[in-house]
Amino acid sequence: MTGAARVLDRPVARIAPWRRRGLRRAVTFYLLISPWLIGFVLLAAIPLVMAFLMSLSNYDGLNLEYVQFVGLENYVRAFTDPDAQHALGRTLLLMAVVVPLSLTLQLALALMVNQPIRFTSLFRTIFYLPYVIPVVAAAWVWKIFVDPTGGLLNALLGVAGAQVNVRWLVEYPTVVLALLTIWGAAGGGMVVFLAGLQGIPAEYREAAMIDGANRLQVTRHITLPLLSPVIFFNLVTGIIATLQILVQPMLLAPGILGLSPGTVPPRDNYLYAVHAYLEIFVKQLFGYGSALLWLLFAVVLGLTLVLFKTSRRWVFYGIEP
């Protein structure tokens, strides 16, 4: 009691209560985010700066004794590297295919498991399962699934007709990669969409139905517009994730080495991150590889900014508190 009185006597105690609350809230906020913030600075921000410095050098990853500053040479090289251009083209193509299909599937699954039907939880678990399977295991399963000799896919297709001997990973490697990517990401996106769907007040839909709207019209004119911020979020993160794909094409490549410098994916699955990885760990061009990745970052940032610009036209934040 005495102590409290002494504290109250100090000038600082005359700070308005709302300001004290604000300070406390700020301190709490920064304390709560500090684990992530510290991790981001130490494990991402500082390495990012180091990687940028590396991109201006001829560093080979092995011996600092031979490091030389090469200016923008690595960046110039990237623009004349036919493999980098090929890889970027394949990556953008994969993104253009995978992102819309992924979003559509994720939304469809979310709409399905949002219905008041029996065994909803079971379906949600089943659909979510691929998302938690390690990518190495998933790729291995797919590799066996599409194997021309003993694979299930050809066997299933064979049931419907004549003998099927499609060499999926040779003739359609990008199709397999796209399917693996879409399948693996479906559960995660579904959960985000589901959360968004459950945040839409039921009154809106009910009011529309009382006014005579059918299910399709409710989805088209009520659900989707109110869900657009979530669609936007999944779109941005989906694009970023697709542009960074590295492990899946390496794991689907011929051989059993997986993500190691000896692996070379088929030309159709030779993506940008794969090219950067091989430049770094096969040719030991750490400087050039870093420049490639910084250019990828620029592409990602550019696409994200364009999306943010266009989002004003189609993202509807109608039910903010």
Partner 1 sequence: MTTWTTRRQLLKGAGVLAAAAAAAPILAACQQTPTTPKGGSGKVVVMTDPNEFNDNDRKTLEDATKLKIEIVASDLTRLYAMYAAGNPPDVFRVQAAGVPQYISRKMIKNLQPYFANSKLLKPDDLAPSNNFYKWDGKVVGKGDLYGMVKDWSPDYTLFAYTKAFDDAGVKVPSDSTPLTYDELRALANKVNRKTAGKRVYWGFVHSNNDQWIDRTAMNMLAEKGQTLYAADFSKLNISGNPEALKVIRFLYDLAADGVQQTPTDPSPNWMGADFNNGQVAMLQYGYWFSAMAESDLTKGKTVFLPAPTWSGVRRDPTMTATGWVVSAQTKDPDAAWAVFEQYMGGKPALDRAQSGWGVPGLKSLYKEMPQQSAFQKQVQKVLQGELSNADFVLQFNPYLSEQAFSTSWVKNLEPALKGSITFDKFVQNVETEVNAAIVDGKRIVGN
**In 3D, which of 117, 109, 111 has the Cα closest to residue 187?**
109
| Residues of this chain, 160-189, that bind partner 1 according to CB under 8 A | 163, 165, 167, 169-170
Choose, by CB under 8 A, the member of 5, 31, 62, 159 that binds partner 1: 62
The site for partner 1, by CB under 8 A, has a size of 78
Q: With binding defined as CB under 8 A, does residue 301 bind partner 1?
A: yes
**Bridge partner list, 57:** 69
Query: Binding of partner 1 at residue 73 (CB under 8 A)?
Result: no
Considering the complex, state which of residue 219 and residue 304 has its C-beta at the smaller distance from partner 1. 304
Least distance CB 120 / partner 1 (angstroms): 26
Binding residues for partner 1 restricted to 259-278, rule: CB under 8 A: 260-262, 264, 266-267, 270, 273, 276-278
Q: What is the DSSP string of 79-120?
A: HH-HHHHHHHHHHHHHHHHHHHHHHHHHHHHHHHHTS--TTH
Q: Which two tokens stand for residue 237?
A: 């993160």
Binding of partner 1 by 78 (CB under 8 A) = no
HEC string of 45-72 equals HHHHHHHHHHHCECCCCCCHHHCCECCC
Left (φ > 0), alpha (ψ -120 to 50) or beta: where does 13 sit?
A: alpha
Shorter beta-carbon distance to partner 1: residue 165 or 217 = 165
| Structure-token pair, residue 111 | 């709409």
DSSP 243-285: HT--HHHHHHSSSS--SSTT----GGG--HHHHHHHHHHTS--
CB of 17 to partner 1, least distance (A): 12
**Site map (CB under 8 A) of partner 1, residues 213-242, x = contact:** ----------------xx-xx--xx--x--
Sign, CA dihedral 44-91-131-219, equals positive
Using rule CB under 8 A, residue 246 touches partner 1: yes
Q: Kindly state the smallest distance separating residue 48's Cβ from partner 1, in Å.
A: 6
Tokens of 135: 């990518």
Question: Does residue 128 touch partner 1 according to CB under 8 A?
Answer: no
Gap between the Cα atoms of 152 and 144, Å rounded: 8
Residue placing its CB nearer to partner 1 in the complex, 22 or 201: 22
Stretch that binds partner 1, among 18-26, 90-98, 118-126, 208-216 (CB under 8 A): 18-26
133 touches partner 1 (CB under 8 A): no
* Smaller CB separation from partner 1, 3 or 17: 17
- Stretch touching partner 1 by CB under 8 A, among 2-10, 50-58, 90-98, 126-134: 50-58
293 binds partner 1 (CB under 8 A): yes
Q: Which is nearer to partner 1, 113 or 139 (CB)?
A: 139
Does the protein bind partner 1 through residue 286 (CB under 8 A)?
yes
- Closer to partner 1 at the Cβ: 127 or 270? 270
Nearest residue (CB) to partner 1, 157 versus 209: 157
Annotate 135-168 with b (16+ C-beta within 10 A) or e (fewer).
eeebbeebbebbeeeebebbeeeeeeeeeeeeeb
Residue 136 near residue 158, CB atoms below 8 Å = no
Distance (Å, rounded) from C-alpha 197 to C-alpha 214? 18
Q: What is the closest distance, in whole angstroms, from the C-beta atom of residue 197 to partner 1 in the complex?
A: 15
Contact, 94 vs 271, CB < 8 A? yes
249 lines the binding site for partner 1 (CB under 8 A): no
Q: Which of 22, 89, 100, 201 binds partner 1 (CB under 8 A)?
A: 22
